[in-house]
């Protein structure tokens, strides 16, 4: 069983060679399968490595092609993100002749009548 050190050194000497990366991956996978302590250490390292940024970069976010009716997340390097959207996915519209959402009055009806629309 390889420790992975020789494969790591070979990859460090030629980082552009994909085959050397595959050899290191295989050596680490075999060792992790046979050594539970190494597997736990490798899992811990992997979790920590997920949050490491590799260099400076800029992010340009664009939304095009129509109206979006659900959550839109823009940014970089998202981890463990969960989005829960509620509703029908249909656009919410404001009835003509009103200015924004209407709120119920104290008797439970919207201002301007049951439909919330104000008479002109």
Helical H runs in 1-120?
A: 5-13, 18-34, 36-49
Which of 3-12, 69-78, 84-93, 103-112 shows the lowest per-residue confidence on average (mean pLDDT)? Answer: 103-112
Predicted confidence (pLDDT) at residue 57 exceeds the cutoff of 50: yes
103 has pLDDT over 90: no
Tokens of 4: 């992975």
Contact 31, 38 (CB under 8 A): yes
Side-chain half-sphere CA neighbours of 90 within 13 A: 4
pTM beyond 0.95:
no
Are the beta carbons of 42 and 32 closer than 8 angstroms? yes
**What pLDDT band is residue 116 in, cutting at 50, 70 and 90?**
very low
């Amino acid at each position: 069983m390889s420790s992975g050190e020789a494969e790591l050194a070979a990859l460090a000497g030629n980082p552009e060679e994909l085959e050397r990366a595959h050899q290191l991956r295989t050596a680490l996978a075999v060792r992790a399968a046979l050594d539970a302590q190494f597997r736990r250490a490798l899992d811990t390292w992997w979790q920590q490595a997920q949050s490491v940024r590799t260099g400076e970069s800029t992010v340009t976010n664009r939304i095009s092609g129509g109206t979006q009716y659900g959550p839109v997340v823009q940014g970089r390097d998202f981890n463990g993100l969960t989005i829960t959207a509620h509703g029908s996915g249909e656009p919410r519209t404001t009835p003509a002749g009103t200015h924004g959402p209407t709120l119920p009055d104290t008797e439970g009806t919207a201002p301007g009548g049951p439909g919330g629309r104000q008479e002109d």
